[in-house]
Amino acid sequence: MIRKPLIPLAVLALAACATTDPPAAEIGAARAMVAQARPLADRDAPQQIAEAQAKLSRAESEMQKGHHDTARMLARQAEADAKLAWTIAENARLSRTAAEVQDANRTLREESERKPQ
């Protein structure tokens, strides 16, 4: 009779000790996104890409320590931060391009107005 209550306790104890798989996929995705974002973000979103890189480094460190849940969370945050950095940088690039096109259109309009008909 005493054995029955011990079985659920043993199962709970073993479940508490169970570890999750290493977050290799999440860290790989974060690395890829940081690498993709860096060329644009270094100029236009340096703070965001630095935060992404810092979180990625922490995720790698936590994974080495066996803290897989923390590493997974940090890797996902790093990927999200890198996506944000890329988006900010791409938006800045597109804004510059739009301004250049507007300037070119304005110049063409002014030149066409100066020419005698």
Residues 81 and 88: beta-carbon distance below 8 Å: no
Q: Which phi and psi (to 5°) does residue 99 adopt?
A: -65, -40
> Mind listing the pLDDT tens digit for each residue in 35-94?
999 999 999 999 999 999 999 999 999 999 999 999 999 999 999 999 999 999 999 999
How many Cα atoms occupy the beta-carbon half-sphere of 73 within 13 Å? Answer: 5
* Of residues 20 and 37, more confidently modeled: 37
Tokens of 23: 């977050």
Q: Which phi and psi (to 5°) does residue 21 adopt?
A: -65, 150
DSSP character for 115?
S
C-alpha span between 20 and 68 (Å, rounded)? 6
* Of residues 14 and 28, more confidently modeled: 28
pLDDT of residue 112: 86
pLDDT of residue 9: 57
pLDDT confidence of 4, banded at 50, 70, 90?
low
